[in-house]
Chain A
């Protein structure tokens, strides 16, 4: 179904794929994974014809998908054989009704009304969305939106479906919905699936085969069990292994424990805090105390109120009820005492260069000190990048810059809202090591995450949120899975 021969793709910034050769037979589900920048997304773009038709890149080699040469056929022609689903569901929606959304592709192909209607029906039933036909895509959850995107791709009647990190912005419920849909497509309709993913547990459940990529090349290709059990390979690439994901609910992974060091006075104390938006309460009756130098993880499902809690703690959202006491008094200024790092670093980067960005906050507050500025740049490993334009930085570098800009104001509490999304383990590990050093120097860290491994490895205390309330507070319980992981790590460390 897919035949790639000596494929090399080069952007202005350098090689993305180098001499890739592979064959994927009809009906197979292939999981393509690898560290950030390994060329996975470029491969997806080639298979869908976006390279070379819509994205400018140098292209060498031969690629045939469902009997079509991607160089010779237009995107519209290829779209009838290859469906594409991307990472952000909202970037793939163009209509105000689910039915119109799914009909968009067939209408673009100039099909008759009856043919369009028939295809829409088929795609909606294949993705179990028949009941949502008249709903607005903007009203749907992330998982449902991604299913609509899959239905929209299916309505083109493709023989191959290429999905580029479809789970990246979804919670566990959304991932389960999408996985079930893909499973059904494969089993009932024999669609060939190319799944590009960082999240291996879900991908491995579907896949017949795993392609592991690094630096634009395929470095391992085989059955999931064989590839995923090669610990050395994953460790060398700085990738997560299967066991890095929770298989149990958070509640069962935490042992209740509200003890703390008696010699410390509270840094921030929230008492009976409720908050929300437009009259709707998102968090209720929150009682939480954080101490200096603690590394705390805040966990829970999407919509549990974690981000709202962080906004209230940072002084960016007024509570509807309750009191917040910072260091025995009131929180005077957001940013100076408490800082919050959002998920997308670009939301926090304002100026033209790294240097200016890190200096912007202190200058605005009239607190700029050249020595401190240089020290922060050095600590965040940004000295060599100080003159670089912010948009020219990689995701990891942007995140470091945003964090350095927060730290330049010397906050005593640093909160990070989902810093893990779209980052590979290598990047994350460096970030976490830096946060640990900060915590050891006295800065309190509150990490909002879904990431089991980060919580397990770094958090001294875990707070579990459910439906706007703190459900549990305590220490992480090492599960059987984690014990195995620790054992393997120890064995590797001893050589």
Chain B
């Protein structure tokens, strides 16, 4: 993956925008204790990265933007953010995979990439705990789920529905982020007086 100077600068600008959202907006959401703050931040960040993909329409661009945002977060806040940092990189990677697989940027590709990228926020805590504590944690989680449903007298299938609802919500938010990215990206093109993609 070799980008031109202009492309590298453009990727730097979009990485900085995602990083700025994480650093500024992220702190605000954290202080306000907004529910699903991580999902909202991921959706906005991915939207920015996908807009960047419209301006640097080459494989690897979305991942590159995600990496810059992640490094900016690490640079500004230190090592404590290593786990969210990995989250940013994987979210960008997932969006990248979808966009690269679908090749030509389109509303559909952006919607799908957004949905897949945001979905990672659901899986992320489990994967991170697995990385830190080993695969044994999975047994602990499953037993906790089992015991929890017994104590609360809930049918285990209801837990499954709850999980599906949480996944669906994330897919919806991600898809909306993709649509927003497509619409905003085209408007930025118009604002700068460049021909639309």
Do A and B touch, yes or no (CB under 8 Å, in the complex)? yes
**In the complex, B163 has a CB within 8 A of chain A:** no
The segment from B81-89, B139-147, B185-193 that touches chain A is B185-193
CA distance A390 to B191 in the complex (A): 7
Q: How far is the CB of A414 from chain B (nearest CB, A)?
A: 26
Complex: chain A residue closest to B192, CB-CB: A391
Mostly, the B contact residues are helix
CB neighbours of B191 from chain A (8 A):
352, 389-391
Residue of B nearest to A96 (CB): B75
Range, interface on chain A: under 10
Q: Point out the residues of chain A lying under 8 angstroms from B190, CB to CB.
A: 352, 389
A392: B residues at CB distance < 8 A: 193
Q: List chain A residues, Cβ under 8 A from B193.
A: 389, 391-392
In angstroms, how far is the closest chain A Cβ from the Cβ of B63? 21
What per-residue 1/0 map shows which CB atoms of A382-395 lie under 8 Å from chain B?
Answer: 00000001111000
Q: Bin chain B's interface residue count.
A: under 10
Q: How far is the CB of A208 from chain B (nearest CB, A)?
A: 35
A390 to B193, CA, bound (A): 10
Residues of B within 8 A of A390 (CB): 191
Query: In B36-75, which residues have CB < 8 Å from any A CB?
Result: 75
Q: Which residue of B lies closest to A390 (CB)?
A: B191
Per-residue CB contact flags for chain B residues 153-197 toward chain A (1 = under 8 Å, else 0) read 000000000000000000000000000000000000011110000
Most chain A CB within a 10 A radius of its CB, from B190, B191, B192: B191
Q: B18 to nearest A CB, angstroms? A: 18
> Which residues of chain A from 343 to 397 have a CB within 8 Å of any chain B CB?
352, 389-392
Which residue of chain A has its CB nearest to the CB of B75? Answer: A96
Min C-beta distance of B106 to chain A, whole Å: 23
* Distance (whole angstroms) from the CB of A133 to the closest CB of chain B: 19
Residues of B near A96 (CB, < 8 A) are 75
Give residues 110-139 of B contacting A (CB, 8 Å): none
Which residue on chain B has the smallest CB distance to residue A389?
Answer: B193
Distance, CA A96 to CA B68, complexed state (A): 14
CA of A390 to CA of B190, assembled, Å: 10
Kindly supply a per-residue 1/0 record for chain A positions 70-98, scoring 1 wherever the CB is within 8 Å of any chain B CB and 0 otherwise.
00000000000000000000000000100
Encode contact with B along A94-115: 1 for CB under 8 Å, 0 otherwise: 0010000000000000000000
Within 8 Å CB of B192, what residues of A? Answer: 391
Residues of B within 8 A of A391 (CB): 191-193
Q: Nearest Cβ in chain B — how far from A53, in angstroms?
A: 12
Closest chain A residue to B12 by CB distance?
A94
**Closest beta carbon of chain A to B188's beta carbon, Å:** 10
| Residues of chain A within 8 A of B75, CB atoms compared | 96
Q: How far is the CB of A101 from chain B (nearest CB, A)?
A: 15
Chain A min CB distance to B105 (Å): 22
Alpha-carbon distance between A276 and B191 when the two chains are bound, in angstroms: 34
In angstroms, Cα B117 to Cα A336, docked, is 41
Whole-angstrom CA separation of A431 from B75 in the bound complex: 43
Chain B: minimal CB distance from A138 (Å): 10
Give 11 A-B contacts (CB < 8 Å), ordered by A residue.
A96-B75, A352-B190, A352-B191, A389-B190, A389-B191, A389-B193, A390-B191, A391-B191, A391-B192, A391-B193, A392-B193
The 5 closest A-B pairs by CB, nearest first: A391-B193, A391-B191, A391-B192, A389-B193, A392-B193
